[in-house]
Amino acid sequence: MIFTRLARKNGAASTFALAIALATGGMIGAAAIEAPAVAQKKPKYSKGFIAAYGPLQEALSAEAVDGAAVKTLIPSVVSAIENESDRFAAGGAIVNASQKLNDMGLALQGLELMLQSGQVAPEQIGVVNLQAGQIAYNQKQYEKARQYLRAALDAGYTENNPEGVIAESYFAEERDAEGLAYLEGVIDARKQAGQPVDESWLQRGIAVAYRASMKEQAQKFANWYVADYPSETSWRDAIAILLNTGGYENPEILDLLRLGRRAGTLNDGRLYMEYVDAADYRRLPAEVVSVIDEGKASGLLPADDPYVNDTRNQAADRVAADRADMDNLTADARAAGANVRTVMAAGDALLSLGRPADAEEFYVKAASMGGAEAQMALTRLGIAQFDQGKFAEAEATFEKVEGPRAPIANLWAIYATQQDGSAAM
């Protein structure tokens, strides 16, 4: 417990209670109220203030504090303020009263008076502003909360998450765009300074943006989340966000779920079936067989489901034919007059058959042919490079992807940078 003291003034305060004890009390947000030390060494109190203060101090010192009486005395103490020493002392007394009466409104009033007095010790300005900001937030005075929390940050105080509370103050007012913009700015600044970013900020940003249907912001926070805190959970969230907000068709869904499979985030039978449908047993039968078998082995696809089993059987029947026809397909794709669809078909078939090194040739060719298929070719070229363990090359390829596929490629690029030389197949 820290004490502030009222100095004697020519003996007039001999019967005046000299110590104002600011109890630590309960938690306000993330930080408890602490007593700010007075900055000046010899405060000077006005006679009128001392006269008004005495009854309040006596009431607060009683063994059984009469809350109603204390609240009745406070206005007279405030109205008796003549100088900044009076203001600081009044604030201290009111904070003391707030602790005894468990009244956070009084706590805020007292802290505000202390801050207004200019008498708070420099080293405590940050924490006192933080406490005022947290109480104002809990009192739903959000603009005032932001004022004090920003002042805490300006004073160099960064403990107990003032930035997070500022963001929450916007969200509490349903000003999601402003809150997310503020949070983005804080995170950008942290990253540029090489400082760590609080995981809860990223999780909160994702949740708010997703709830508000702000897809670009949701994807941005999700990318930050997997980049800074890679885990099965963060990757599952990032992929789910993109899957649910991207508005993609099967070709894009396939490449996103391919990432999910490699990152180990396919934890639901519906995702496996979505993967099966996106791959299409008529186009990529080998991959369909592999995905179904994996889903069954994990227990996420039922072993006795007629649709699952029928799809697998039809896919399996096509695999042998695809393997047998591969030489003809690749020859057609290498021909000078080959169209981009034939070239892509060769790359897709080879990648599906687990031959990424062979597939790379055709994706390189398809990407150079331009047109609508170029971005898909680049995406799958990056996947083929990734599956070979060529992570730096894959990352560079993914970074070239533009348009609607760019968010998918961005996630792939992040995942490529996180690998240590062995890709999950």
Output the pLDDT for position 7: 30
Block means of pLDDT (10 residues each) for the chain, 425 residues, are 28 26 28 50 87 94 92 96 95 93 95 95 95 96 98 95 96 98 97 95 96 95 96 96 95 98 95 97 96 97 95 95 93 94 96 97 94 92 97 97 96 93 40
Output the pLDDT for position 18: 24
CB atoms within 10 A of CB 19: 12
Output the pLDDT for position 38: 57
Beta bridge pairs of residue 360: none
Output the pLDDT for position 308: 96
Q: Cβ(263)–Cβ(424) under 8 Å? A: yes
Structure tokens at 167: 């963001």
The pTM score is 0.83
Q: Which fold has domain 230-417?
A: 1.25.40
CATH architecture of 3-173: Alpha Horseshoe (1.25)
According to DSSP, residue 118 is labeled T
According to DSSP, residue 120 is labeled B
∠ Cα 4 5 7 (to 5°): 155
Q: Cβ(396)–Cβ(208) under 8 Å? A: no
Q: 199-211 burial, b for 16+ CB within 10 Å, e for fewer?
A: eebbbbbbebbbe
Output the pLDDT for position 373: 87
Beta bridge pairs of residue 21: 3
* Dist. CA 56–CA 78, nearest whole Å: 11
- Displacement of CA 163 from its chain's centroid (Å): 12
Is 256 exposed, middle or buried (CB count within 10 Å of its CB: 0-12, 13-18, 19+)? buried
Q: Cβ(77)–Cβ(52) under 8 Å? A: yes
Beta bridge pairs of residue 28: 31
Q: Cβ(152)–Cβ(127) under 8 Å? A: yes
Output the pLDDT for position 5: 26
Q: Cβ(338)–Cβ(369) under 8 Å? A: no
CA 150, 151, 154, 158 torsion-angle sign = negative
Half-sphere exposure for 18 (CA within 13 Å, toward CB): 12
> Quick check: do 3-173 and 230-417 share a fold?
yes
Output the pLDDT for position 318: 94
| Domain boundaries along the sequence of the chain | 3-173, 230-417
